[in-house]
Amino acid sequence: MAEQTAPPVIRDGAPARPDAAVVRDALGVGVAVGLSGFAFGVTSAGSGLTVLQTCVLSLLVFTGASQFALVGALAAGGNPFTAAAGAFFLGTRNAFYGLRLSQLLAVPKAFRPFAAHWVIDETAAVALAQPSRRAARLGFTVTGLTLYVLWNATTLLGALGAEAIGDTAAWGLDAAGPAVFLALLAPMLKSATERATAAIAVLLGLGLLPVLPAGIPVLAAALAAPAVLWAHGRRTASVARAREKDPR
């Protein structure tokens, strides 16, 4: 049988969860990840962006993996358009989160543009982990608000303190963002298809890093998803044909 990867549907009639527990979990994620904005501020300033440019990135882009990818490519001497393209495609995963969350949260139309800005890995993870729509809304809101405020505040502090730190590359702070992203992603890789996609993406990204311009390996790593899905589809079709020939 094909592997089931879709999360369960949240229903209003699901068992209730105390608001305090939801808020505690949401604050834990928001604070833990929000503080890594300091690393982004330092890394961005170290790559040549001004304090204003760094802060505007956090205010308007607000997706850490894409922001780190952008400034990392720029710091490596990559073309700005290539760096922006890599960051853009890395951020498109949030659109898929949005498709799922739009059904679960059922946010009123007037608030959807604001809610869409907070659709990121952390808010999606907290919201999808809740058993009811009320808990999902509460988790999404508290995580989004906490993370947005802390991320932007610590981005400003990091950008202002970059000069005092000195050589930012020596501190390895640019690894903080990807490390947080991987920590959030790893528990979600439950099926063999998901793990295979992640492994191939890592191999493509790291393998092409020495031979392609900065920013391009990130784009190439995205090819892992269609490749694995194609292989999975062929395997599923083969199993189905075998069962048709031998129904035993």
The reported pLDDT for the residue numbered 60 is 93
pLDDT higher than 60, residue 154: yes
Q: Span 62-90, mean pLDDT?
A: 81
Please choose, from the candidates 191, 192, 201, 189, the residue with its C-alpha nearest in 3D space to the C-alpha of residue 225: 201
Of the listed ranges 38-47, 54-63, 113-122, 166-175, the least confidently predicted one is 166-175
Q: How many CA atoms within 13 Å lie on the side-chain side of 221?
A: 23
Give me 171's structure tokens: 């501190």
Cα 220 from Cα 130, distance rounded (Å): 34
pLDDT of residue 176: 58
The 10s digit of each residue's pLDDT in 202-226 is 888 778 777 776 667 766 777 777 8
With 0-12 / 13-18 / 19 or more C-beta atoms within 10 angstroms meaning exposed / middle / buried, residue 73 is buried
Which residues have a Cβ under 8 Å from the Cβ of 202 and sit 6 or more positions away? 221
Give the contacts of 176 (CB within 8 A, at least 6 positions apart): 36, 39, 40
| 173 pLDDT higher than 60 | no
**What is the pLDDT at residue 5?**
42
More confident call, 4 vs 245:
245
- What band does 243 get if pLDDT is binned at 50, 70 and 90? confident
pLDDT band of 192, cuts 50, 70, 90:
confident
Gap between the Cα atoms of 245 and 234, Å rounded: 17
More reliable by pLDDT, 187 or 38: 38
- Which of 5-9, 86-90, 206-210 shows the lowest mean pLDDT across its residues? 5-9
Residue 12 has pLDDT above 70, yes or no: no
